A and B are shown apart, each in its own frame.
Chain A
């Protein structure tokens, strides 16, 4: 009984065992699975990262000149690193140890990311349709030329 009492008194002078969060930071290892980075200069635009991404957090849009743009949603990403493993060009897409910032209510993915995702796929379909049309026109013109001769 007395033992317990003394122990309880002593515990008052002990430091807390928990991490004092804002003052000291929690444990984060060097190779923590954090934010995904992208290097436009190294990318070969093979879109393999988009193909393997489980939640669909990466998408490439394409304008009519054929230039592709990389889009990434940190709210949708699960930080599994599958894109980094799939990338054939080292360093084009990489994972940092920096934890991702929290998602905000304004960034409601239904209104922002899902729309962007669909628009990107549409833009790519439009580009390939345009390309197909141009190729068909070219072929038709060539055929016409051949017929004339």
Chain B
């Protein structure tokens, strides 16, 4: 047995995007044990939602929980509030929500892939992926009026309609994006230098993933078919618009990249189908009811399953709102997947988890 060293990584670190602290116990560059320390950025959003803001305003507040999956949070909250006030939203609003969620998924996955490339030491691929990602940001700006904070889902429906020229523009740009995505898939699956850092790094077995309750692309890369879009049909009709689950076997960084890339094809298909079959109806269901009772909602955010719980007491202000972000579920598995890897590949492994600590800490 060699000498053991403890190496800290984070909370401020050049290759780490998130306020997250890992302490690695290493032996000859091999990681043998890890402890994680999260919750550096607690902002008290849950408390603010239950004390300062009226329940219709909360969908804008929870949109600020995360910059990358803003639409997932505001949609999940809108759905839980709609359950509390007992209304059914129009069909067009459901389709538009799916459209923006999928556009958001493209930009979030592309960001994650680019950071994996950067942390693995492949700067050129980072630049390339970010360059290809830019079109989604412009499309989101055209649909929602803003690049990051969409404020698209409101209680009862959606805030804006999709213009015909915008949908035409989206289809045109998606057609242009397809060969670019093919190119990225080719680089991510065949590049030799990237494979040195990604193949076999950060692997987790299917049994461990099941035992540690992994969600999102992290779980799907181990072969587990875990996707909320595959399970629920009542709130958003995913199957109608051509959703298909992507699972791959392996569970390392390389496979996670490929799962994300192949999900982009599914996202593109969903967007095309939504635009082709957009039903004509109102955008918002009006109601004057106040939230009453309890409800839970699950929604597939880009990083995995997002969970919302809300309790109302027939007043404007909610009694309790609970947000469980996907990264929170993944933390035990993150610690597990480090074991047995080189310390040098730790940044790439962290990026491949796609952690979102501002979601987790709220």
Contact = CB atoms under 8 A, between A and B. Distances in A.
Given A17-B131, A52-B57, A80 B138 contact: no
Interface residues of A, number: 16
Contacts of A17: 131
A78 B141 contact: no
Nearest to B149: A78
Interface string A72-88: 00000011111001000
B131 A29 contact: no
B60 interface: yes
B204 interface: no
B151 A78 contact: yes
B56 interface: yes
B145 A82 contact: no
A32 B53 CA distance: 26
A118 to B, nearest CB: 15
Contact of A33 (B61, B145, B154, B163): B145
Given A17-B131, A80-B151, A85-B159, A54 B57 contact: yes
A31 interface: yes
- Which among A29, A81, A85 has the greatest number of chain B C-beta atoms within 10 A? A29
A27 interface: yes
A80 B158 CA distance: 12
Contact of B146 (A27, A53, A79, A85): A79
Given A27-B138, A29-B141, A85-B159, A80 B56 contact: no
B141 A81 contact: no
Contacts of A33: 144-146, 151
Contacts of A27: 138, 141
A81 B159 contact: yes
Interface in A24-80: 27-29, 31-33, 52-54, 78-80
A31 B169 CA distance: 15
Contact of A29 (B56, B145, B149): B145
Nearest to B135: A27
B225 interface: no
Contacts of A31: 145, 160, 163
Interface in B31-60: 53, 56-57, 60
Nearest to A85: B159
B149 A32 contact: no
Interface string A82-101: 10010000000000000000
17 contacts: A17-B131, A28-B141, A29-B166, A31-B145, A31-B160, A32-B145, A33-B144, A33-B146, A52-B57, A54-B53, A78-B60, A79-B151, A80-B60, A81-B151, A81-B160, A82-B57, A82-B159
